[in-house]
Amino acid sequence: MAEDLIIHTNISKEAQYQSLIPQIAALISGEEDQIANLANIAAALKEQFNWFWVGFYLVKNDELVLGPFQGPVACTRIKKGKGVCGTSWAQNEVLIVPDVDQFPGHIACASASRSEIVLPLYRAGVIVGVLDVDSEYLAHFDEVDANYLKEIISLLNA
């Protein structure tokens, strides 16, 4: 596939995901390098949705280490159980945070971030990282995002 995306913005959020997912699948199909795939997924999501920050943290030893991302500079290392990313990792669950200022122990990598969604990333059933998406708007993410982002992440194990 050519490395160009067809971006649709004047359609519903669901329709945007439904248009983007097959494009991401084609983009990463046949590529075995995980970092390259994570980088392209982060770029595709950022381009489609224009979120404030989108990227991956990868498990290395007992912490999450910054991986491929799109957006302003970010925290480099996050301990398990700390912040939204570390909590998602520790609890093995998707976290949707409508207001990061209300999340106990939120790590403010960028003061402009107002809401966040974090999803565990698996390889052979083991958490190997998280997908972290931040918005400058309150309550920006919901179950629609969670469901479609899970589908996108699952493409990495296909």
Residue 139 near residue 115 (C-beta atoms within 8 A): yes
How far is it, in rounded angstroms, from Cα 40 to Cα 70? Answer: 10
Helix ranges, the chain (H): 13-28, 34-49, 83-91, 143-154
- Cα–Cα distances (Å) from 36 to 28, 68, 78, in that order, read 8, 8, 22
Q: What was the pLDDT predicted at 158? A: 59
List, for the chain, all residue ranges whose pLDDT scores fall below the cut of 50.
1
Q: What was the pLDDT predicted at 6? A: 87
